[in-house]
């Protein structure tokens, strides 16, 4: 046997043994499996106790194929408005079919309803009917809402009057993530409780709003003043802005980002969600200047003296 023939036989044997096996053909779209449903969880429970872990155990038991993810469990306790703000900020990044489990529930055990909501975007929300979903529904549209009453979608009795996250919301969300029909959760709800958050006012002469939160862990002030308010008032990037913060005059440069000022210096900027913020470059504004929400902020038209509150 000549060398070329001997080499060909060896190569053929190697190929048959799998050493040079060709890549399998791409799977046809019709054969592709449906990706696991995303089940996104948020509460004000914190992480210093077992509440979140218990709820996740229920989710895994009922919907083992779901991809369980967290927004946060550090919502300021009882702050429906903060929970609604976080939820509205996160939901645009998730696809249709995502199930959101949200428990910020100061009215737990009272006659407030437990509901499941479906938006026109096709996302599902399981939460107390206390306004948490208002900003999302206002933006994406309401397709349907139902009260959670089906006992088969709850933990067996007796149920706690203070832990509906475990007994009602988690099992209901898990059933939806597992593919059970939305209509089986309970009867239709014709009207949801609406949240009416504070809003800023912007006129030709002044922007006036509120310090609504801290951007933790950095301590930057989050306001409800829209970022385009400064342009409407005549300011441009690089200007010094004298504003009234909690009744006190504060002068800060209006810049694009933190590094546009020296380390330790304050700045006014438009945050990633399009609102005005006040920060310290590589520092904590809240701690440095002893400012905590709730608070107030007012910005005069450029060239107009600010009015310090009495």
pLDDT digits 0-9 by tens, 71-90: 999 999 999 999 999 999 99
Asked if residue 308 has pLDDT above 80, the reply is no
> Are 176 and 226 in a shared domain?
no
Separation of CA 116 from chain center? 17
pLDDT in tens, 242-263: 999 999 999 999 999 999 999 9
Q: How many angstroms separate the Cα of 209 from the Cα of each of 42, 129, 201, 233, 282?
A: 27, 27, 6, 14, 25
265: containing domain: 201-300
Q: Do 142 and 48 reside in the same domain of the chain?
A: yes
On whether both 70 and 98 belong to a single domain, the answer is yes
124 shares its domain with 223: no
Look at residues 145, 291, 278 and name the one whose alpha carbon lies nearest to residue 221.
Answer: 278
pTM of the model: 0.81
pLDDT at 134: 98
What mean pLDDT value characterizes the chain? 89
The predicted pLDDT at position 23 comes to 36
41 lies in some domain:
yes
Give the CATH number, domain containing residue 85: 3.40.50.10790
Statement to judge: residues 228 and 141 lie in one domain: no
Specify the length of the chain in residues: 310
Segment 208-231 shows an average pLDDT of 94
Residue 9 lies in a domain: no
Please report whether residue 146 resides in a domain: yes
Q: Nearest Cα to 299, choosing from 238, 215, 255, 234?
A: 234
């Amino acid at each position: 046997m000549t060398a070329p023939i001997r080499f060909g036989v060896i190569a053929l044997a190697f190929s048959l043994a799998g050493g040079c096996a060709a890549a399998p053909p791409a799977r046809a779209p019709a054969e592709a499996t449906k990706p696991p449903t995303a089940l996104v969880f948020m509460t004000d429970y914190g992480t210093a106790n077992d509440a979140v872990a218990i709820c996740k155990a229920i989710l895994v038991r009922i919907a083992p194929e779901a991809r369980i993810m967290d927004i946060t469990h550090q919502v300021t306790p009882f702050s429906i408005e903060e929970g609604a703000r976080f939820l509205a900020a996160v939901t645009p990044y998730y696809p249709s079919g995502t199930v959101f489990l949200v428990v910020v529930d100061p009215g737990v055990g009272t006659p407030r309803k437990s509901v499941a909501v479906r938006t026109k975007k096709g996302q599902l929300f399981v939460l107390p009917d206390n306004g948490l979903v208002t900003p999302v529904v206002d933006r994406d549209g309401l397709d349907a809402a139902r009260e959670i009453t089906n006992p088969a979608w709850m933990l067996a009795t007796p149920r706690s009057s203070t832990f509906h996250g475990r007994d009602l919301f988690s099992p209901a969300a898990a059933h939806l993530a597992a593919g059970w029909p939305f209509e089986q959760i309970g009867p239709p709800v014709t009207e949801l409780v609406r949240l009416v958050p504070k809003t800023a006012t912007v006129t030709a002469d002044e922007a006036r709003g509120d310090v609504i939160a801290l951007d933790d862990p950095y301590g930057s002030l989050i306001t409800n003043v829209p970022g385009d308010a400064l342009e409407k008032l005549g300011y441009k990037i690089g200007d010094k802005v004298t504003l009234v913060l909690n009744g006190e005059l504060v002068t800060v440069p209006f810049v694009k980002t933190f590094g546009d000022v020296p380390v330790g210096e304050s700045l006014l900027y438009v945050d990633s969600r399009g609102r005005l913020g006040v920060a310290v470059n590589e520092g904590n504004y809240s701690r440095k200047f002893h400012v905590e929400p709730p608070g107030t902020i007012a910005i005069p038209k450029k060239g107009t003296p600010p009015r310090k509150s009495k």
